[in-house]
């Protein structure tokens, strides 16, 4: 499951597809020893909405990877320990802005971790079951895969480990506007970075929708930033009404 790790914030945009050197065990690499890590056509989404059910916890994540180096997430959490909603955005891959309400434990850059991990987990399961990618899906299609390798998902600040033997079952279906809906059930054993696997099975459920346009759209300049906080030196009084205003102030050039 999820383990914290310390790294540089700006690398978050590349976290969904960054290859990792192959070493045995829970490190990413080819079969039979290397763990399954994220790469392939299912990772090339521009937007994904993921609903997760993990025991008593319910989460809804929205992830948008825009043209250029912009990344935006929306987090909705409802579980026995805390509830709340938050948004986070990396502008040009480097300037972090956030807004939140409720009693969520994550703050600042940590808000990016769970949405990005959930998106990687969904993409990994779809890639394992349907390696040709979303363009090969023209009708509702069963999703079935199983393996004796570890599944690893990573952001620069957190990792998740799913131990073998695991299996995924579900469906993926084409929708409008180059999007695909999915409904997946993953059965696995809790794992740790040293390769320890629990004896008891656990179940996670993922459902939602992901889009794969031919070209990533730019997150609109009209996106409201009213009430957002910016993670910059001496930024206590920094306020922008829209993303376009923030881009101009930060010197972010339009994408072509």
Written as tens digits, the pLDDT of the chain (256 aa) is: 554 433 334 344 444 444 333 334 688 888 888 899 888 999 999 999 999 999 999 999 999 999 988 999 999 999 998 899 999 999 998 889 999 988 888 888 999 999 999 999 999 999 999 999 999 999 999 999 999 999 999 888 888 999 999 999 999 999 999 999 999 999 999 998 888 898 999 999 999 999 999 999 999 999 999 989 888 766 556 788 999 999 998 888 776 6
CA 210 from centre of chain: 11
CA distance 23 to 89: 33
Length of the chain: 256
Contacts 24+ apart (CB under 8 A), 66-71: 66/216, 66/217, 66/218, 66/219, 67/215, 67/216, 67/217, 67/218, 67/219, 67/255, 68/92, 68/93, 68/218, 68/252, 68/255, 69/13, 69/93, 69/94, 70/218, 70/219, 71/12, 71/13, 71/112
Residues in a beta bridge with 154: 159
Q: Is the peptide bond before 115 cis (omega within 30 degrees of 0)?
A: no
Residue 158 — φ and ψ, nearest 5°?
Answer: -155, 150
Return the H-helix or E-strand segment holding 117.
helix 113-129
pLDDT reported for residue 255: 65
pLDDT reported for residue 68: 84
pLDDT reported for residue 71: 96
Structural tokens at position 52: 């997760």
pTM score over 0.85: yes
pLDDT reported for residue 22: 34
| Secondary structure of residue 116 in the 3-state scheme | helix
For the CA atoms of 91, 176, 61, 84, the dihedral, rounded to the nearest 10 degrees, stands at 100
């Amino acid at each position: 499951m999820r383990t914290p790790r310390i790294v540089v914030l700006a690398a978050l945009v590349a976290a969904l597809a960054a290859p990792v050197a192959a070493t045995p065990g829970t490190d990413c690499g080819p079969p039979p020893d290397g763990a399954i890590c994220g790469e392939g056509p299912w990772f090339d989404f521009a937007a994904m909405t993921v609903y997760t059910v993990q025991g008593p916890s319910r989460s809804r994540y929205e992830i948008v990877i825009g043209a250029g180096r912009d990344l935006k997430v929306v987090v909705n959490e409802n579980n026995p320990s805390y509830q709340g909603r938050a948004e986070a955005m990396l502008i040009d891959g480097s300037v972090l802005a956030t807004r939140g309400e409720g009693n969520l434990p994550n703050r600042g850059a940590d808000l990016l971790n769970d949405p990005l991990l959930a998106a990687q987990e969904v993409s990994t399961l779809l890639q394992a079951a349907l390696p040709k990618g979303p363009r090969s899906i023209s009708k509702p299609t069963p999703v079935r895969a199983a393996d004796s390798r570890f599944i690893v998902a990573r952001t620069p600040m957190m990792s998740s480990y799913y131990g073998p033997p695991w299996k995924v079952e579900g469906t993926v279906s084409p929708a409008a506007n180059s999007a695909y809906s999915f409904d997946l059930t993953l059965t696995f054993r809790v794992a740790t970075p040293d390769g320890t696997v629990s004896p008891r099975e656990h179940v996670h459920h993922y459902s939602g929708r992901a889009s794969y346009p031919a070209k990533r759209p730019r997150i609109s300049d009209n996106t409201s930033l009213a009430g957002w906080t910016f993670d910059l030196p001496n930024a206590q009084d920094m306020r922008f009404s829209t993303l376009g205003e923030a881009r101009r102030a930060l010197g972010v050039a339009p994408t072509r």
